[in-house]
Amino acid sequence: MENNSLLNDVIARAQVWLNGNYNEETKSEVRRMLDAEDKTELIESFYRDLEFGTGGLRGIMGAGSNRMNIYTVGAATQGLSNYLKSQFAHLDQISVVIGHDCRNNSRLFAEISANIFSANNIKVYLFEDLRPTPEASFAIRHLGCQSGIILTASHNPKEYNGYKAYWDDGAQMIAPHDENVIAEVLKITNVDDIKFSGNPELIQIIGEEIDKKFIDAIKTLSLSPEAIQRNNDLKIVYTPIHGTGVKLIPRALREYGFTNIIAVPEQNVVSGNFPTVVSPNPEEPAALDMAVKKAIETDADIVMASDPDADRLGIAVKNDKGEWILVNGNQTALIFVYYLIRRWKELGRIKGHEFVVKTIVTTEIIKQIAEQNGVECYDCFTGFKWIAAVMRENEGIKQYIGGGEESYGFLPETFVRDKDAVSSCTLMAEITAWAKDNGKTLYQLLQDIYLEYGYGKEKGISVVRKGKSGAEEIAKMMSDFRANPPKAIAGSKVILIKDYKTLKALNVETGEQSVLDMPATSNVLQYFTADGTKISVRPSGTEPKIKFYIEVRGEMKSREEYNAADAAANAKIDAVRASLGV
């Protein structure tokens, strides 16, 4: 009965699209789904409206209310336009930046959005072609805009696209603006409410002039220019994995002083189909396979890869046996924070009011490095908008050094307010040159960080559950964890539980409860055990997944003990997985 009710509701929603002011291509797709014997695609396309959440839109492209298309993008842009006009009514001219990545339909969605903004009398700065997400954030700040959007689904599979909304500081929106925009988008219940007919006079194309300003700003980040000069022929293999990084990252590396940038030609081809990879995600080892092969051929010093919108960075390095290994996101953030704090200290920049930021699921070793060097470390929720929020709160009071998250995102500057693979690539190349200048490989530098601050290893596990039934299963898993928290994990007693949905922390041994000081609630659970293990569990906000983040601690007293510590950590992680049933 419930299934019949759902199907009837879906058919009624589809009929609205057949009868409404939608183009013929869309109506044809809707008819095809209605006529199909198997109604699965119809249900998935219409069982709900694609949610404009706190991170914007992200979904599979296609016709339907639960898909990314010109109408769902149009409703989002009209709602955002209405909100901007209410918030900035005192300005003579409201303005926005529009950027986009390499995905199929990204340019179309960007141009549709430009038309809608301009039809609402909002000035639009539209990038001439695909550009990295962090450059759009930079442009919002540089041009003094009130908002901006970026059409990207980051590292999602090729079927997806997305729409991220930014505020006047160049950061993704947080409360109250995110919730207020959502409310305005929800008011767009009829396609006729969307103003599609643009005003070309209010659309300005931008490109090279912003590229130059952005790269000039990135060049100011260098902390070891002499090391770069001495090692300017460092062999750097870089791949954009078919994405926007191809536009700026090789150029930024050259302008930083590096002369030996080795391309992966097949992956320099811009394509929303990502033809050489299953997934364009630098977190996935297979995405770096071609770059690693190129590194072996050329005896390179480092491999770097950016995701399709060039905000995430993945790297590979040679180990002590000369084998290429991937460095995970936690380790990458660790290397960045260690280098930045050490060089700031050596250059006399640490004055006592500096800070770094990490997300709650990122390695705790970052906090140790910061605190042992007199630098404050903030913990925030997953997502770079929360790192940007900490930056905003401390602007003019404390000095930001850097911030990152385990999911391969880092930001070493203040002129962008989102993770930035362009500056991260140049900085990681500098760190490699600096390590070489000090007689170390990047691999040995990582080992030395563990020797100084203690060994740790992290593992992220994603359990994928697609569609409506998958979303319900993920919700039940979170509910079960809350109702029946584990008493021990991998044989070690759980001593602390943090629930960011209720903002309560429970000391299991004493029964004492405390309040978690966070700016909002979030559906995240954390368990800390007596042996230093940290487990975090949360549903993904952008993908049909529930994510488990495991961090275990170990011991090593010399570089030679690294492999043994690593093996022991892997065994502990396996035991944790078995305990959790994942």
Q: Which residues are catalytic?
A: 154
543-560 CB burial, b ≥16 within 10 A, e <16: bbbbbbbbbbbbebeeee
**Residue among 148, 72, 133, 142 nearest 108 (CA):** 72
- Tell me the two tokens of residue 289: 């396979």
Phi, psi of 104 (to 5 degrees): -55, 135
The pairing of strands 95-100 and 147-151 is parallel
- Tell me the two tokens of residue 504: 């309560």
CA angle (328, 329, 333) in 5-degree steps: 120
The one-letter amino acid at 507: N
Q: How many residues does the chain have?
A: 582
**Omega before residue 539 within 30° of 0, cis:** no
- Tell me the two tokens of residue 358: 């990490």
Helices then strands, each counted (H, E), the chain = 18, 23
- The burial class, CB within 10 Å (0-12 / 13-18 / 19+), for 170 is buried
The one-letter amino acid at 314: G
Cβ-based neighbours of 326, under 8 Å, separated by 6 or more: 285, 288, 314, 315, 316
**Residue among 319, 333, 285 nearest 305 (CA):** 285
Q: Tell the residue number behind the tokens 């044989």, with chain if given.
A: 491
Instruction: State the Cα–Cα distance between residues 191 and 550, nearest whole angstrom.
Output: 45
Asked if 160 contacts 40 with a C-beta cutoff of 8 angstroms, the reply is no
Q: Is the dihedral of CA 13, 14, 15, 19 positive or negative?
A: positive
**Residue among 84, 162, 183, 161 nearest 124 (CA):** 84
Asked if 427 contacts 380 with a C-beta cutoff of 8 angstroms, the reply is no
| Helix, strand, coil percentages, rounded to 5, for the chain | 45, 20, 35
Q: Tell the residue number behind the tokens 């249900």, with chain if given.
A: 43
